[in-house]
Structure 1
Amino acid sequence: MSFRTLSPEVLMAGGTRIMQAGLEGGKIVIVYGKPALEKSANLTVQVASWSAQNPILAACAVVGTTGTIILAAPGLATGPVLSSLGFTMNGTQAGSAAATAHSWIGNIVAGSAMAIGQSAGAGGNGLVIVNGVAQLGGAAMTFGSAGLAWVKAQL
């Protein structure tokens, strides 16, 4: 069935029902949205106040959470970094930091940092190494910040 076979009355009725549903959705947002917005604003003020009073613990919370995310999903960190350096699926991007480094180095030796970066950017075996290093960094961030928070709590 196409729109050409529908009568104008049927199209108008369908459009009216869609518009009514949108208005009902708007009423729901007005009723429930305002209290939710007020609660989130209050929570934000409380978090900001606590962070101002406990800057070391707040920093530990941010660093620890970031480390946990990198530990669980290293590609969230390594993908953008590799891309911004110029290591892409199609090879080294012209004019990038990777291209500049490649021009200084000359021939790339297998197993070197440059070769691993190129492999990781192309989605090869180097990605395992890069993601593993990122996960080690994430673990260090997580456990280091937890240790610092524990020491702070003992003082």
Structure 2
Amino acid sequence: MAGDQSGEGFAEVMGMLPRINRLSTSLSRGRLMEHALEASGLNLDRPAMGVLISLRMSDEPLRIGEIARRMEVAGPHVTRLVHELERRELARRIADPDDKRARRVELTPAGTEAVNGYLRDIFGWFAEALVDWSPADLQTLGTLLNRLLDDLTAHTARQQL
């Protein structure tokens, strides 16, 4: 196992792992993702909803490669998902204004409605669970989660070199 296991920070990290596991278990037991997928009104799997969320969170249509980067998956996987979403009229490809040979993907109105239902359910669940948290605590949590994800992503990228 890489890294210094005798340093001061090791015990703190080891103490966090059970809490991270409890968080994952809590989210799984609550079937949060499954309930939210049902709230979308469509029979979609998580990866397909991931494409819709990536498009919804963007301020512009995205290329397949950008969707794959945001989802941290391979481009061909996203291509298959987009084909299915197009077939179901939840997304469509449009011309890329920067490169006429390329295409971008955007949500259709039905896709927007589906992803909004999903996100309403997710946000509502978290809002109910965290109703007693102060705005400052919520901001701190968001800041620390972003930092954790950024550091884990960077570490994973370094490990793959």
Q: TM-score, length-normalised on structure 2?
A: 0.32
Higher relative contact order (CA 8 A, sep 6+): 1
Write 1 or 2 for the structure with the bigger share of strand. 2
Largest Rg, 1 or 2: 1
